[in-house]
Structure 1
Amino acid sequence: MVRDDLYITVPSFFRCPISLDVMKSPVSLCTGVTYDRSSIQRWLDNGNNTCPATMQVLHTKDFVPNRTLQSLIQIWSDSLLNSPDPDSLLSKDQVLLAISHLDSPADFCPDSLAKILRFTQDSEENRDFLARTECFLPLLVRLLLNVNGGIQFLEQLVTALDLVIGKIQDPERLKNLMLKRQGEGQKQSALDSLLLVLQQGSHAAKIESARVLKSVAVDAESKLLIGEKDGLVSELLNLITPEKDPDLIENCLSCLIAISAPRRSKVKLVRLGTVKVLSKVLLAPSLSVSVTEKVLKLVETVSSTKEGRAEICDDAACVAAIVNKVLKVSSVATEHAVTTLWSVCYLFRDEKAQEAVTKANGLTKILLLMQSNCSPQVRQMSADLLKIFRVNSKSCLSCYDTKTTHIMPF
Structure 2
Amino acid sequence: MVRDDLYITVPSFFRCPISLDVMKSPVSLCTGVTYDRSSIQRWLDDGNNTCPATMQVLHTKEFVPNRTLHRLIQIWSDSVQRRVDSPESSPPKPLLSQDQVLGLIRRLDRHSDSSFDSLSKIVCFARDSDENRRFLTGADGFVPTLVELLANAGDGASRSLDLAELAVRALDMIRSEIADTEKLATSMLKQSHCLRSLVRVLQRGSVESRIGSARILEAIAVDAESKLIIAEKEEVLQELLKLISPEKDRSLMEAGLSCLIAVSMARRVKVKLVNLGAVKSLGKCLEEQNLSVSMTERVLRLLERVSSVKEGVSEICGSERECVVDRVVQRLMKVSSAATEHAVTVLWGVCYVHRNRAAQEAVVKANGVTKILLLMQTNCSPAVRQMSADLLKIFRLTSSNSTSFISSYDTNTTHITPF
TM tier, smaller: 0.7 to 0.9
Q: Distance in 1 between matches of 2:411 and 2:275?
A: 45
Q: SS state of the match for residue 299, structure 1?
A: helix
Counterpart position of 2:50 = none
Residue type of the partner of 2:200? L
- Per the TM alignment, residue 157 of structure 1 is displaced from its structure 2 partner at its CA by 1.1
Q: 2:86·2:92 contact (CA, 8 Å) conserved in 1?
A: no
Q: SS state of the match for residue 267, structure 1?
A: helix
Counterpart position of 2:396 = 390
Give ranges in structure 1 of 5+ residues lacking alignment: 1-9, 12-74, 182-187
For residues 44-123 of structure 1, the aligned pairs below 5 Å read 79=87, 82=90, 88-105=94-111, 108-123=114-129
Counterpart position of 1:163 = 173
Residue type of the partner of 1:169? A
Q: SS state of the match for residue 217, structure 1?
A: coil
For residues 274-353 of structure 1, the aligned pairs below 5 Å read 274-316=278-320, 317-353=323-359
Bigger Cα displacement from structure 2, 325-334 vs 372-381: 372-381
The alignment yields a C-alpha RMSD, in angstroms, of 2.5
Is residue 136 of structure 2 the alignment partner of residue 133 of structure 1?
no
Closer, same or farther: CA 402–136 of 1 in aligned 2, 3 Å: closer
Q: Distance in 1 between matches of 2:292 and 2:387?
A: 26
Q: Distance in 2 between matches of 1:238 and 1:180?
A: 26
Q: Distance in 2 between matches of 1:404 and 1:308?
A: 32
Q: Distance in 1 between matches of 2:99 and 2:88?
A: 19
Is residue 415 of structure 2 the alignment partner of residue 409 of structure 1?
no
1:30-56 deviations in whole A, cap 9, x for unaligned?
Answer: xxxxxxxxxxxxxxxxxxxxxxxxxxx
Q: SS state of the match for residue 415, structure 2?
A: helix
Counterpart position of 1:35 = none
Closer, same or farther: CA 212–224 of 1 in aligned 2, 3 Å: same
Residue type of the partner of 1:164? I
- Per the TM alignment, residue 236 of structure 1 is displaced from its structure 2 partner at its CA by 0.9
Q: Distance in 2 between matches of 1:92 and 1:239?
A: 37
Number of residue-to-residue matches in the alignment: 331
1:331-379 deviations in whole A, cap 9, x for unaligned?
Answer: 1000000011111111221112111111111111111111222112111
Closer, same or farther: CA 79–375 of 1 in aligned 2, 3 Å: farther
Is residue 153 of structure 2 the alignment partner of residue 146 of structure 1?
yes
Counterpart position of 1:247 = 251
1:153-178 deviations in whole A, cap 9, x for unaligned?
Answer: 22111110001111111112101121
Q: Distance in 1 between matches of 2:294 and 2:88?
A: 42
Give the TM-score normalised by the residue count of structure 2.
Answer: 0.74
Is residue 186 of structure 2 the alignment partner of residue 176 of structure 1?
yes
Closer, same or farther: CA 178–389 of 1 in aligned 2, 3 Å: same
Q: 1:313·1:319 contact (CA, 8 Å) conserved in 2?
A: yes
Q: 2:218·2:262 contact (CA, 8 Å) conserved in 1?
A: yes
Is residue 244 of structure 2 the alignment partner of residue 229 of structure 1?
no
Q: 2:168·2:212 contact (CA, 8 Å) conserved in 1?
A: yes
Q: SS state of the match for residue 355, structure 2?
A: coil
Bigger Cα displacement from structure 2, 303-312 vs 383-392: 303-312
Q: 1:101·1:107 contact (CA, 8 Å) conserved in 2?
A: no
- Per the TM alignment, residue 105 of structure 1 is displaced from its structure 2 partner at its CA by 4.0
Q: 1:371·1:409 contact (CA, 8 Å) conserved in 2?
A: no
Residue type of the partner of 1:387? K
Is residue 262 of structure 2 the alignment partner of residue 258 of structure 1?
yes
Closer, same or farther: CA 140–335 of 1 in aligned 2, 3 Å: same
Is residue 362 of structure 2 the alignment partner of residue 356 of structure 1?
yes
Closer, same or farther: CA 80–385 of 1 in aligned 2, 3 Å: farther
Closer, same or farther: CA 205–367 of 1 in aligned 2, 3 Å: same
Q: Distance in 2 between matches of 1:228 and 1:95?
A: 37
Residue type of the partner of 2:97? S
Give the TM-score normalised by the residue count of structure 1.
Answer: 0.75
Q: Which of structures 1 and 2 has the bigger CA Rg?
A: 1
1:236-295 deviations in whole A, cap 9, x for unaligned?
Answer: 111211111111111100000000011221111111111111111111221111111000
Residue type of the partner of 2:348? W
Q: Distance in 2 between matches of 1:102 and 1:79?
A: 34
Q: SS state of the match for residue 127, structure 1?
A: helix
